C-alpha cells in the first residue's frame, strides 16, 4: 500500500500539501482523490503547496499541469504555491511552462488569489 497525499478542505477550497517526493502510484492516487473530492465537496478552488519539494523533474511538472487541467474541467481553479527558485528554474529548463497553471509565492497569497478569482466569477 502506498502513502496518499492528504487533501484538506478549507471552506470551498481544497488544500494539497506535498511533503515528500512523489512516486508514480502516489501521483495517480492524488489525481483520483483530488478529482473525487472536488466533486464531492463542490470545491471552487485547489491550492497545491509544493514548498517542501526541493527538486522536480518532468514527471512532477506534468503532474501539476494535469491536476490543474482536471480541476479546471471540474469547475475548480488551481493555484500552485511555494515554488522555490531552483524548482522554477528547473521547470523552465525542462521546457515545462505549466501553461494554464496559476502560481503564487506562498499559501496566503494563493488563497487570496483564489478568493479574488471566485469573486470575479460570481
Q: With 60 as the cut, is the pLDDT of residue 88 above it?
A: yes
User: What length is written for the chain?
Assistant: 122
Q: What is the pLDDT of residue 121?
A: 73
Query: What's residue 53's pLDDT?
Result: 87
The arithmetic mean of pLDDT across residues 93-122, rounded, is 87
Region for 61 from its dihedrals, namely left if φ exceeds 0, alpha if ψ lies in -120 to 50, beta otherwise: alpha
Q: Which helix (H) or strand (E) holds 87?
A: helix 85-93
Mean pLDDT of 71-77: 94
Give me the pLDDT at residue 117, please: 84
**How far is C-alpha 43 from the chain's CA centre?**
13
Residue 2: per-residue pLDDT = 60
> Which uninterrupted H or E stretch holds 60?
helix 58-73
Averaged confidence pLDDT in the chain: 90
Quote the pTM value.
0.91
pLDDT digits (tens, 9 = 90+) for 24-67: 888 889 999 999 999 999 999 999 999 998 888 888 888 888 99
Amino acid at each position: 500500500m502506498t502513502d496518499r497525499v492528504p487533501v484538506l478542505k478549507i471552506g470551498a477550497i481544497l488544500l494539497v500539501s506535498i511533503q515528500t517526493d512523489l512516486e508514480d502510484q502516489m501521483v495517480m492516487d492524488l489525481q483520483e482523490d483530488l478529482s473525487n473530492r472536488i466533486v464531492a465537496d463542490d470545491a471552487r478552488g485547489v491550492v497545491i503547496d509544493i514548498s517542501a519539494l526541493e527538486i522536480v523533474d518532468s514527471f512532477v511538472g506534468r503532474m501539476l499541469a494535469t491536476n490543474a487541467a482536471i480541476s479546471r474541467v471540474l469547475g475548480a481553479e488551481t493555484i500552485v504555491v511555494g515554488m522555490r527558485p531552483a524548482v522554477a528554474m528547473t521547470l523552465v529548463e525542462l521546457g515545462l511552462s505549466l501553461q494554464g497553471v496559476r502560481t503564487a509565492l506562498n499559501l496566503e497569497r494563493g488563497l487570496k488569489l483564489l478568493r479574488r478569482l471566485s469573486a470575479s466569477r460570481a
